[in-house]
Chains A and B, each alone.
Chain A
Amino acid sequence: MNTLTPVLSAFWDQKDSFTMEGYKRNGGYLALAKALAMDPDKIIEEVKESGLRGRGGAGFPTGMKWGFIPQGDQKDHYLVVNADESEPGTCKDTPLLMANPHVLIEGVIIASYAIRANHAFIYIRGEVTHVVRRVQQAIEDAYSAGLLGKNILGKGFDLELVLHVGAGAYICGEETALLDSLEGFRGQPRLRPPFPAIAGLYARPTVVNNVESIASVPSIIANGAQWFASMGTEKSKGFTLYSLSGHITNPGQFEAPLGITLRELIDMAGGVRAGHKLKFWTPGGSSTPMFTDAHLDVPLDYEGVAAAGSMLGTKALQIFDETTCVVRAVLRWTEFYKHESCGKCTPCREGTWWLVQALKNLENGQGAPEDLEKLLDICDNIMGRSFCALADGAASPIISSLQYFRDEYLEHLKNGGCPFDPAASTIFATAGLR
């Protein structure tokens, strides 16, 4: 039985958790002092040993990523924090930055020191103005406190930290598109190789990490790799933020060891919306193939979710109860991907355009059962054929929903339209409306 392990979220309930004072009161910036006394390579080693994996979706080992940065190359290095968080369902970085921006800043300084970067950037989603203001203030406070700028803590390390506000594009969360956007170009993914570790921002060695990944670093330095590795499962170490949203009694962030199950989390969150039962859910945001109530006991770590046919992704657990029409939900997601497709490559650009129309027809009950095969075939022509992973994300909800809810699609065709009452699925609907 797992229990919550609040680290990043440990003192979010304190009124001034987001201030320098609040952060320091709770032990903030002590890890930094420790880190600056360490050899940078030792920090990379420590992070490697901790088993920390990227929290941005792909789960790439963070220490290994830092180790790819060529050292002694006489070039500028950069650290870029990916705070673009724009995927439907994904909502962990925003509350983290709102409640505790300094843990990210502390992580940034330690990570920059480790990879020998004197410039770091936080690329933040443009729509979240309140978060932007809060992070900006925190950065200013850190400068005032001598934690950023020249000769940090008198240890001879210099770091400039710049907050860059995006203009509202999901694709700018993809790390190379992010770099283009940060350089002032239109955000579209770059051809790889070269990888950012070799030629990233301004063609210089660059580490791009998710907010949560970097924010986890101070606790690893403070408490040691072993402490971190003692949590979680064999290959998925540590704690992480699980974001529960949708038809759930107490939605929100649940910081728990990797490997916890949805059953446990739902319990902690007070159960599915009262009077209803779980129908389907996403393990890691809309881009990850959906699960059903058959997957309640899947361990939510990278391996467990993959073994069950999906991805842990951003651990954005969107809960849908039986009032939700899966066709409708999938169509809304698909509309999102169509809107967010950057347009660079054919399968995604044209495919999402087509998928929306095809799903609209199905939602309206138009078409024949064969159209489901056609839909799957279009997805097959998109999935793994595109330039970046956005398109895979667009195809995933469709393929997985057809896998588990084919009958519901057919029902639409039989019915000549959607058999559901959309009002019943709204959060404000009274129980049992249907």
Chain B
Amino acid sequence: MSIQEIKNQEITSSQGADSAIEMITIIVDGFEVSVPKGTLVIRAAEKLGIQIPRFCDHPLLDPVGACRQCLVDIEINGRKFPKPQASCTIPVEPGMVVNTQLTSPVAEKAQKGVMELLLINHPLDCPVCDKGGECPLQNQAMSNGGGESRYEGVKRTFEKPINISSQVLLDRERCILCARCTRFSEQIAGDPFITLNERGALQQVGIYEKEPFQSYFSGNTVQICPVGALTGASYRFRARPFDLVSTPSACEHCASGCDMRVDVRRGKTLRRLAGDDSTVNEEWSCDKGRWAFKYEHRDRLTSPLIRNESGELVEASWPEALAHAAHGLSINRAAVLVGGRSTIEDAYGYSKFARIALNTNDIDFRSRTSSDEERNFLAALLLGKSVTYLDIDKADQVILLGFEPEEESPIIFLRIFKQVRKRGLKVSALAPFTSRGNEKLKATVIKNVGNEVEDISKFALTNRSVILVGERLAEVSGALTAALKLAEQSGAKLAWIPRRAGERGALEAGAIGNLLPGARQVADPKARQDIERAWGSGPLPTQTGLSTDQILDALHKGEIEALLVGGVDPGDISASAIDGLRKAFVVSLEIRNSAMSEVADVVLPVAAVVEKSGSFLDWQGRARKFEAAVTNSLHRSDVRILSILADEIGRPINLGTVEKAAKELASFGDGSSDQKSALASLSADQAKIKEPGKNQAILTSWRLLLDNGSLQEHEPNLAGTAHPCVAVISDDRANRLGVVDGDLIKISNSNGEIILPLQIGDIDPRAIWIPRNSENSRPLLALKSATHSLVSVVKA
């Protein structure tokens, strides 16, 4: 534990969690302002609209007082500090009078002096610098600087630039050594891979050659660097800020729900920045959210496609394609699969389309491994109180079940890490091995694969505890039920965290077989009547719909002959899913050419997130609304296409615009409250896994944040910081196999094999862990299993 951590924890614990906030009144430039005790002078001044220039100061980082740009005159109860003080390091005190550059000639001179000194070694290459036009140094040199430099000497130079990772470049001569980047990495991300090295004017940011800046959050350093010293490899030299049109947006990658800003030039996204939402991502994003967007530009479908008589997909006109799709969907028994990435409005479109146009409840948004237990769990979950980031802030402990926050929902990771660092928040996890993320969270990891249900029941929680359940917990039968029981018995808050951005919204929109929009049970006649009335439709189908697995099964058996899919990758569901799809008439709504094109009979191009408006529900159930950033796109949102398709079928859903869909869905409200009894009672029995034999192991896996995910394509710089694709085994097993770190091992079963370099880790000795969707490691396809099955493990 570093000194700062100890200090933080001691300070926080001595303050007590819920003590009332004491307000302190000070005078800044003659104006009174009251702020909570502990507020820094620089921020008290901000409250009055007085901007003290600053560089190293950042409200979310611990103060350092390094740049000295924020000097002001301060007196306390008539006693004046003999010299100007750094306002970013001094908390307000009763009787304090502050004179900033606006009222103190000394402060003004001090600031001008510092600015001049900051610029003597600065290259002033603004015309070719990415930051030019949006640079705090440039701006504040204009607002608070001296106008002209008296420096005529030799400037410090460095070789430029250096790659501190594949995605972040450093031009050392531009760096003003504010230590924002290094503090971020250490204090926020827990990845202290960059530090300040050397001394004097030769001080510089650097990496340890053997441990480059492999952080999932490195992009934030580029964003908070107050000069153009840190640049993103894929944006460097691409644009001038004033040529970009910025639009507030939301991230489509995961359920963390980051606020985003999309910068577009002539119809093309050039970069994305983390937006500022203190209740969600604060000011951060992960690197995937920031840099994985090239998919928008490549392999886009521009026109509808139809499979012709000779079996080829050929371009077709919209009317032709729609007619063909409508025909195929209406003459066959049809079902709907929605990928986990739709906006809530689009998901609502699919939900209503299934019920009205196809007259079925056979719809599921879970295009991944899933279970019936999960469906019931989700229905039950919607009845519960919603859990938020703020609950993590206040939790007495956090339990992670089937969930690796750093890999599967990085902003949740940051939020937990913040509390771990600040006040030693206790974290426990059920996982096969101690991942780097859990190591950073100092989590107690219970490594007992196959015993999850029992282990879950053993946690001792309180009503201030938070249980975070990942979608992977559904892969262990009985575990979701056990988690619900744990929450019920202890009063702890329970949240479900899907990996993809669209799943929570799809659940609320009823894009699942057991629920109608607004969390209404399909099986509940009154709930159906609600919806029938609202839609002005005839009677809705009464039978609980099939789940993803059941739909695929039915496709294989020929019981379902047609399928509408929206953004689904069959490889995410199972190895054999694609074969089932081959047998059916498939209508696919897609943004790009994908595996689906292989089996689709009609492909209808739709808009990518930048080209449409809509909203995602993050894991908290909070809407992340966004407008189209590319305004002149010809692509349309799924819901509009579905509405036209429904017209074509002759059973209109009347959702001509995204706004209409949003409004209609909102009008249902939450219909869940009085239907608790309708829930099937869940049972928590875990199927026992056979004990592994001598050369066997229990397979486990999850997806890494950066992997083969299709939305990350065409971004080699981003891929360069992916965690290495390795198989994790125990020390014990390595000894038995006679292998060491880096050796290749073969993981196989009757379905196939995977060969990976190994890494010895803190893992359940009976288990092996591999990445779920990385190059050379796609167990679902190669082994037809991703977790909790026996595999053979030998030296390759």
B117's partner among A194, A199, A202, A351 (CB-CB below 8 A) is A351
User: Which residues on B sit within 8 Å (CB–CB) of A186?
Assistant: 195-197
Q: Which B residues lie within 8 Å of A358 (CB)?
A: 153
Expressed in whole angstroms, the minimum distance between the Cβ of A130 and any Cβ of chain B is: 26
Q: Are the C-beta atoms of B200 and A353 separated by less than 8 Å?
A: yes
Known: A203-B10, A343-B198, A343-B202. A384 touches B83 (CB 8 A): yes
Contact between chains at A381 and B200 (CB < 8 Å):
no
Please tell me which one of the listed residues B7, B10, B116, B203 contacts residue A381 in the complex, with CB atoms under 8 A apart.
Answer: B116
Which residues of the partner chain B approach A343 to less than 8 Å between Cβ atoms?
A: 177, 196, 198-203
CB distance from B441 to the nearest CB of A (A): 21
Q: Are A385 and B153 in contact (CB under 8 A)?
A: no
Asked if A350 is at the interface of the complex by the 8 Å CB criterion, the answer is yes
Q: A346 and B200: CB pair below 8 A?
A: no
Output the least CB separation between B626 and chain A (Å). Answer: 40
Contact yes or no, B200 A341, CB < 8 A: yes
Contact B83 A385 (CB under 8 A): yes
Q: How far, in whole Å, are A380 and B64 apart by their CA atoms in the complex?
A: 23
Residues of B within 8 A of A194 (CB): 7
Is residue A340 contacting chain B, with contact meaning CB distance below 8 A?
yes
Chain A residues contacting B7 (CB-CB under 8 Å) are 194, 199, 203
Measured in the bound complex, the distance between the Cα atoms of B113 and A194 in whole Å is 28
Question: Which listed residue, B65, B114, B120, B176, touches A191 by the CB 8 Å rule?
Answer: B65
Residues of B101-120 whose CB lies within 8 A of A? 109-110, 113-114, 116-118, 120
**Is the beta-carbon distance between B68 and A342 smaller than 8 angstroms?**
no
Bound-complex Cα distance A341 to B177 (A): 13
A349 at the interface (CB under 8 A from B): yes
Q: Which residues of B contact A199 (CB under 8 A)?
A: 3, 6-7, 10
Nearest-Cβ distance from residue B712 to partner chain A, whole angstroms: 36
Cross-interface CB contact of A385 among B10, B71, B156, B201, cutoff 8 Å? B71
User: Shortest Cβ distance from A311 into chain B, in angstroms?
Assistant: 14
Q: Is B318 an interface residue (CB 8 A)?
A: no
For window 198-229 of A, CB contacts with B under 8 Å fall at 199, 202-203
Q: Tell me whether B154 is interfacial, beta carbon within 8 Å.
A: yes
B458 lies within 8 A of chain A by Cβ: no
Tell me, in angstroms, the Cα distance from A345 to B82 when the chains sit together: 19
Complex contact B121–A203 (CB within 8 A): no
- Among the listed A203, A338, A386, which residue makes an inter-chain contact with B68, where contact means beta carbons less than 8 Å apart? A386
Closest to B199 in A: A343
A339 contacts partner chain B, Cβ-Cβ < 8 Å: yes
Task: Give the nearest-CB partner of B110 in chain A.
Answer: A385
Asked if B3 contacts A346 (CB within 8 A), the reply is: no
In the complex, are the beta carbons of A339 and B200 less than 8 A apart?
yes
Q: What per-residue 1/0 map shows which CB atoms of B200-243 lie under 8 Å from chain A?
A: 11110000000000000000000000000000000000000000
Fill in one digit per residue for B166-197: 1 if any A CB lies within 8 Å of its CB, else 0. 00000000001100000000000000000111
- Complex: how many Å from CA A350 to CA B66? 12
What is the predominant secondary structure among interface residues of chain A facing chain B?
A: helix
* B3 with A202: CB separation less than 8 A: yes
Q: How far is the CB of B92 from chain A (nearest CB, A)?
A: 14
Q: Does B63 contact A (CB under 8 A)?
A: yes
Complex interface: chain B residues within 8 A of A393 (CB): none
In angstroms, how far is the closest chain A Cβ from the Cβ of B506? 48
Whether B199 pairs with A341 at a CB distance below 8 angstroms is yes
Residue of A nearest to B115 (CB): A346
Asked whether B120 lies within 8 Å of A353 as measured between CB atoms, the reply is: yes
Nearest-CB residue, chain A, relative to B197:
A186
The answer to whether B6 touches A347 (Cβ under 8 A) is: no
Residue of A191, A351, A374, A384 near B84 (CB, 8 A) is A384
Distance of A381 Cα from B154 Cα, bound (Å): 20
Q: Which residue of B lies closest to A201 (CB)?
A: B3
- Assess the B3–A183 pair: CB atoms within 8 A: yes
Contact flag A346-B83 (CB < 8 Å), given A374-B150, A381-B113: no
Query: A residues 235-273 with Cβ under 8 Å of B?
Result: none
The answer to the question of A143 belonging to the interface, with a C-beta cut-off of 8 Å to chain B, is no
Once the chains are docked, how many angstroms separate the CA of A358 from the CA of B154? 11
| B-chain residues with CB within 8 Å of residue A32 when the two chains form the complex | none
Contacting pair B6 A203 (CB below 8 A)? yes
Quick check: A346 and B153 within 8 Å, CB to CB?
no
- Quick check: B113 and A347 within 8 Å, CB to CB? yes
Partner of B63, one of A191, A202, A352, A381: A191
Does B158 belong to the interface (CB within 8 Å)? no
A384 vs B83: C-alpha distance when bound (angstroms): 6
Interface: A169 (CB within 8 A): yes
Check B67 for interface membership: any CB of A closer than 8 A: yes
A344 at the interface (CB under 8 A from B): yes
Among residues of A, the one whose C-beta sits closest to the C-beta of B3 is A203
A151 on the interface (CB 8 Å rule)?
no
Q: Which of A317-368 contact B (CB under 8 A)?
A: 338-347, 349-354, 357-358
| Contact of A385 with B68 in the complex, beta carbons under 8 Å | yes
Q: Residues 64-77 of chain B: 1 if any A CB is under 8 Å from the residue's CB, otherwise 0?
A: 11111101000000
Instruction: Pick the contact of A346: B68, B84, B154 (CB < 8 A).
Output: B68
Q: A199-B3, A347-B114 are in contact. Are A353 and B121 (CB under 8 A)?
A: yes
Chain A residues near B150: list those with CB within 8 A: 374
List of B residues within 8 angstroms of A339 by Cβ: 200
B151 within 8 A of A: yes
Q: Are B67 and A338 in contact (CB under 8 A)?
A: no
**Chain A residues with CB under 8 A of B156:** 353
Chain A residue at minimum C-beta to C-beta distance from B151 = A354
Nearest chain B residue, comparing its CB with the CB of A202: B3
| Contact yes or no, B113 A354, CB < 8 A | no
**Nearest A residue to B202, CB-CB:** A343
Q: Does A387 contact B (CB under 8 A)?
A: yes
Q: Which residues of A contact B71 (CB under 8 A)?
A: 385
Provide the residues of chain B in CB contact with A382, threshold 8 Å: 113, 117
- Residue of chain A at shortest CB distance from B8: A203
Contact B66 A345, beta carbon cutoff 8 Å:
yes
> A357–B7 Cα gap in the complex (Å)?
41
Nearest-CB residue, chain A, relative to B156: A353
Q: How far is the CB of B41 from chain A (nearest CB, A)?
A: 14
B118-A357 in contact (CB<8A): no
Asked if B201 contacts A349 (CB within 8 A), the reply is yes
Smallest distance from the beta carbon of A146 to chain B beta carbons, Å? 34
Q: Are B154 and A357 within 8 A (Cβ)?
A: yes
Which of the listed residues A183, A186, A349, A380 has the most CB atoms from chain B within 10 Å of its own CB?
A349
Given contact pairs A374-B150, A381-B110, A384-B83, A350 touches B118 in the complex (Cβ within 8 A): yes
Contacts of B118 in A (CB 8 A): 346, 350
Please give the distance in Å from A364's CB to the nearest CB on chain B: 13
Please tell me which one of the listed residues B3, B66, B121 contacts residue A387 in the complex, with CB atoms under 8 A apart: B66
> In the complex the two chains form, is B68's CB within 8 Å of A347's CB?
yes
CA A208 to CA B364, docked complex, whole Å: 67
**Residues in A whose Cβ lies below 8 Å from that of B370:** none
For the complex, is B749 an interface residue (Cβ under 8 Å from A)? no
Contact: A345 with B3, CB < 8 Å? Answer: no
Bound form: Cα–Cα A169–B201 in Å: 15
When distances are taken between beta carbons in the complex, the residues of chain A under 8 Å from B197 are 186
Centre residue among A346, A350, A384 by max chain B CB count within 10 A: A346
A332 to chain B, nearest CB (A): 16
Report the bound CA distance from A345 to B71 in whole Å. Answer: 12
Give bound CA distance, A132 to B306, whole Å: 84
- Cβ A387 vs Cβ B65 within 8 A: yes
Provide the residues of chain B in CB contact with A350, threshold 8 Å. Answer: 117-118, 120-121, 201
- Extra 5 A-B pairs, beta carbons < 8 Å, given A342-B203, A385-B71: A338-B201, A347-B117, A353-B120, A357-B153, A387-B66
Listed A/B pairs (15) with beta-carbon separation below 8 Å: A186-B195, A186-B197, A199-B3, A340-B199, A340-B200, A341-B200, A342-B203, A343-B198, A344-B64, A344-B66, A350-B121, A354-B153, A374-B150, A380-B113, A387-B66
The 5 A-B residue pairs whose C-beta atoms are closest, nearest first, are A381-B113, A343-B203, A384-B83, A357-B153, A350-B117
**Residue positions of A touching B, CB distance < 8 A:** 169, 171, 183, 186, 191, 194, 199, 202-203, 338-347, 349-354, 357-358, 374, 377-378, 380-382, 384-387
Q: Which residues of B are interface residues toward A (Cβ below 8 A)? A: 3, 6-7, 10, 63-69, 71, 82-84, 89, 109-110, 113-114, 116-118, 120-121, 150-151, 153-154, 156, 176-177, 195-203
